[in-house]
């Protein structure tokens, strides 16, 4: 009986996350850019096969940006269908939680309590949750992109002087993909991988050949991404805006977003270093959290380069900061600086707040889903009647966890995006948004 209860305690948090997250995915429709990526980029032809996606991403590389890896996945799942995406995206979220967990602990170990804490913090702290976790195009760019980057870092995080032979083969592939994923976080990835090598050197640990090749692969992937011809337009925009102004703007955002995290990290770091350390090994383990802390700051500050810094672009930086703070917090618990009761109390409090927060979010997401259902029925009716130019009411989200929050549903100008994307997808000449809340 006790064994069964113990197994249930371990698996229950995973089941709950899967059920809740799938529910949110199911009631999130295709939105905004999803309609654009249903077509071969730069053409009026729909994507109907995998080969079409390759053509589309080739065009995308020269027209839009160099983020080919994540946009390929976006177009693939638009082709496969939203129902398939809902299932896969749910499990990608679980993988993301596990990756955070493994990087926090520095080993492939599952702790149901820490799994719950990480899941709660993702819900409450990750900015633009709906855009980065539920929106198809957004989640493949940020959630899935973060999973690729964190996976590519695992061989470095877990390396203790020896490694399996297969690690040498898979690591360069993973880091290549990680370097070709997201501009600011991929840059931070390269920095952190270099810092891992520096730590090994200082500790007298042999630096394996695969780790150096892995960094070179990441750099190649990064260059291919930022070197896309389509980025020249962005470069011109960057050149027209004073760098010092952008730096001050990002520093202000950094203090606002990460100020409390920086304070908590520093306090915990001092407590662990000055605590009753019985193991020199535990003291040495404080260096790894500093690598993630540095990576988080670098990822955030890298956004001083572009002129556009949406909240969803902070996803990678927040992921790394969560790892940094929880890593040092985990060491504090091990060192008995913080009692495990604190962890259980935190879980209980978070559960109470989460219940209320989830209900509010679900109600609004379901409302948006119902409005889209009505809109689709209207689209079908107008299409059957041969209408080419139509008008529909704009949908306004009310909850920050809604995928539509921070996005533009429709505009009053039918010639602008996302109106043009939506009209083309549903077979109309134009769609005009009516602003009537």
Q: What is the pLDDT of residue 203?
A: 86
- Cα–Cα nearest to 24, from 393, 404, 346: 404
pLDDT digits 0-9 by tens, 23-33? 999 999 999 99
Q: What is the pLDDT of residue 1?
A: 47
Dihedral over Cα of 229, 233, 235, 239: its sign: positive
pLDDT digits 0-9 by tens, 95-110? 999 999 999 988 888 8
Q: What is the pLDDT of residue 331?
A: 80
- Number of C-beta neighbours around residue 94 at 10 A: 15
Whole-model pTM: value is: 0.92
Q: In angstroms, rounded to a whole number, what is the distance separating the alpha carbons of residues 150 and 320? A: 9
Q: What is the pLDDT of residue 91?
A: 96
Residue 400 exposed, middle or buried by CB count within 10 Å (0-12, 13-18, 19+) = middle
**CA 424 to chain CA mean position, Å:** 29
Tens place of pLDDT per residue across the chain (437 aa): 465 777 787 899 999 999 999 999 999 999 999 999 999 998 999 999 999 999 999 999 998 888 999 999 999 999 999 999 999 999 999 999 999 999 998 888 888 888 998 999 999 999 999 999 999 999 999 999 999 999 999 999 999 888 888 999 999 999 999 999 988 899 999 999 999 999 999 888 999 999 999 999 999 999 999 988 877 766 555 555 677 777 888 888 888 889 999 998 998 888 887 765 555 555 567 789 999 999 999 999 888 776 667 889 999 999 999 999 999 888 877 666 555 666 677 778 888 888 899 999 999 999 999 999 999 999 999 999 999 999 999 999 999 999 999 999 999 999 998 999 999 999 999 999 998 75
Within 8 A by CB and 6+ apart from 17, the residues are 93, 94, 97, 115, 119
Q: In angstroms, rounded to a whole number, what is the distance separating the alpha carbons of residues 46 and 429? A: 16
- Cα–Cα nearest to 34, from 81, 89, 78, 93: 78
Peptide bond into 319 cis (omega under 30): no
Domain ranges of the chain: 241-338, 360-434
- Cα–Cα nearest to 399, from 377, 366, 425: 366
Q: Burial letters for 185-219: b for 16+ Cβ neighbours within 10 Å, e otherwise?
A: bbbbbbebbbbbbeebeeeeeeebebbeebbebbb
């Amino acid at each position: 009986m006790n064994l069964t209860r113990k197994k249930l305690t371990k698996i229950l948090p995973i089941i709950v996350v899967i059920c809740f997250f799938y529910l949110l995915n199911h009631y999130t429709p295709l939105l905004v850019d999803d309609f654009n990526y249903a077509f071969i980029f730069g053409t009026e032809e729909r994507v109907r096969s995998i080969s079409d996606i390759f053509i589309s991403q080739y065009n995308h590389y020269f027209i839009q940006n160099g983020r080919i890896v994540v946009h390929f996945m976006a177009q693939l799942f638009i082709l496969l269908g939203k129902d398939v995406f809902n299932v896969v995206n749910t499990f990608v979220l679980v993988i993301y939680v596990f990756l955070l967990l493994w990087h926090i602990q520095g080993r492939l170990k599952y702790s149901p309590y820490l799994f719950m804490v990480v899941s709660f913090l993702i819900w409450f702290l990750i900015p633009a949750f709906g855009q980065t976790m539920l929106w198809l195009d957004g989640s493949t760019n940020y959630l899935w992109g973060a999973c690729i980057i964190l996976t590519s870092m695992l061989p470095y995080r877990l390396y203790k002087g020896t490694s399996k032979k297969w690690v040498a083969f898979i690591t360069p592939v993973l880091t290549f993909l990680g370097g070709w994923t997201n501009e600011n976080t991929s840059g931070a990835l390269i920095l952190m991988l270099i810092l891992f090598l520096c730590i090994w050197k200082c500790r007298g640990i042999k630096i394996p050949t695969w780790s150096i090749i892995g960094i070179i692969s990441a750099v190649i992937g990064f260059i291919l991404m930022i070197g896309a011809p389509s980025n020249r337009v962005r470069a011109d925009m960057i050149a027209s805006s004073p760098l010092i102004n952008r730096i001050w703007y990002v520093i202000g955002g950094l203090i606002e977003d990460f100020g409390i995290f920086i304070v908590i990290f520093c306090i915990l770091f001092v407590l662990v270093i000055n605590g009753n350390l019985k193991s020199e090994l535990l003291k040495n383990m404080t260096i790894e959290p500093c690598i993630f802390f540095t990576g988080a700051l670098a990822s955030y500050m890298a956004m001083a380069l572009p002129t556009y810094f949406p909240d969803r672009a902070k996803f990678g930086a927040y992921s790394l900061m969560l790892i940094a703070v929880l890593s040092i917090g985990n060491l504090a618990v091990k060192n008995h600086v913080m009692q495990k009761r604190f962890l259980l109390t935190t879980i209980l409090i978070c559960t109470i707040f989460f219940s209320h927060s989830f209900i509010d979010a679900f109600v609004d997401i379901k409302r948006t889903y119902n409005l889209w259902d009505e809109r689709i029925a209207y689209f079908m009716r107008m299409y059957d009647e041969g209408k080419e130019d139509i008008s529909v009411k704009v949908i306004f989200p009310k909850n920050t966890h809604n995928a539509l929050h921070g996005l533009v549903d429709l505009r009053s100008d039918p010639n602008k995006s996302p109106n043009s994307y939506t009209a083309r997808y549903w077979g109309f000449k134009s769609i005009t948004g009516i602003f009537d809340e």
